[in-house]
Amino acid sequence: MLKVIHPGFFSTIQDAGRFGYRDKGVPVCGCMDNYSASIANSLLENEEMDAVMEITMTGPKLEFHTSSFFAITGAEMSPTLNGIPVNSYEVHKASEGDVLSFGKLINGFRSYLAVKGGFLTEAKLMSRSFYKPITDQNCIKERMEIPIEGHTDYSPKISQIKPEAWHKEHELIVLKGPEYKILTDDHLKLLFTNKFTIAKENNRMAYQLEELIGAHSHKMLTSATLPGTVQLTPAGKLIILMRDGQTTGGYPRVLQLANKSIAFLSQKKFGDKVTLHPLRR
């Protein structure tokens, strides 16, 4: 068991996602940066669907009540074990009573903590991913006790890897969306030559970009959306749906982010810059 001494800004349990329920209005959910999360699980030789802790902006303080092994990937948040710095992208052992803490955010925006065997919170609709009201909570809380397996012996095949520098990525690869044809030449020029700024309206549901690309008057029926769908409002604002994004929407779906670009974007915070680039086959 892992006890939460302090939850951090917004820490959740996430796995690969909740699939098969979008027709009921249930988002996919899952790890925002699923590449970093999968690397953490791979270091511990966990299953692909094993749940990890997604840590946003500032990290929690956690006490191990059983021995285990852990790995941290994604954003660099100055982790320490009993006050001693530990490296990200490396397997570490924690004994009963050890305290894992996080400090200053160095780069990126979301970090991923994996433990051997995964976090064992209750599964709802075949996933442990937090998403209220499907799950009882939307983030971890102070004094919460999170079930994990106890492990005293583990010899990883790969104990460390070179850290990913995803926080430096600023190019988002996009494909044409269903309503791509409503874009004018002026829209396209601004889309693919501008640098866009991450707006303060960014979370697990969606990221807004500050710069406008021009108004439009296209009307459409509410239609299906996906994580990574780029919607264009009538005023010309771009909204990029993320893992907890709604399953339908009424704005034109002009672009679709490539899956890896969703992960890149999830490591951006308010004020960061990104560019959009069409996928070249």
Tokens of 276: 């959009």
Q: Measuring CA to CA, how many Å separate 32 from each of 13, 204, 241?
A: 11, 7, 11
Q: Cβ of 222: how many Cβ atoms within 10 Å?
A: 10
| CATH number of the domain encompassing residue 74 | 2.60.120
Tens digits of pLDDT across the chain (281 residues): 999 999 999 999 999 999 999 999 999 999 999 999 999 999 999 999 999 999 999 999 999 999 999 999 999 999 999 999 999 999 999 999 999 999 999 999 999 999 999 999 999 999 999 999 899 999 999 999 999 999 998 888 888 888 877 667 789 999 999 999 999 999 999 999 999 999 999 999 999 999 999 999 998 899 999 999 999 999 999 999 999 999 999 999 999 999 999 999 999 999 999 999 998 75
Query: Is residue 113 in a domain?
Result: yes
Q: How far apart are CA 243 and CA 247, in angstroms?
A: 10
Predicted pLDDT of residue 281:
59
Q: How far apart are CA 94 and CA 43, in angstroms?
A: 15
Q: Are residues 136 and 6 in the same domain?
A: yes
Query: Is residue 29 in a domain?
Result: yes
Number of domains in the chain: 2
| CATH number of the domain encompassing residue 186 | 2.40.100.10
Decide: 86 and 92 in contact? Cβ < 8 Å.
yes
Query: Is residue 9 in a domain?
Result: yes
Predicted pLDDT of residue 159:
84
Decide: 27 and 247 in contact? Cβ < 8 Å.
yes
Q: Are residues 81 and 173 in the same domain?
A: no
Predicted pLDDT of residue 160:
85
Query: Is residue 160 in a domain?
Result: no
Of the candidates 77, 112, 146, which is a domain's last residue? 146
Q: Are residues 139 and 33 in the same domain?
A: yes
Q: Are residues 82 and 208 in the same domain?
A: no
Q: To the nearest 10°, the Cα dihedral for 125, 126, 128, 131?
A: -30
Query: Is residue 254 in a domain?
Result: yes
∠1-244-168 over CA atoms, to 5°? 85
Q: How far apart are CA 242 and CA 228, in angstroms?
A: 6
Q: Are residues 141 and 197 in the same domain?
A: no
Tokens of 128: 């442990």
**Which range of residues forms the domain containing residue 272?**
169-278
Q: Are residues 176 and 118 in the same domain?
A: no
Q: Which residues pair with 202 in a beta bridge?
A: 207
Query: Is residue 163 in a domain?
Result: no
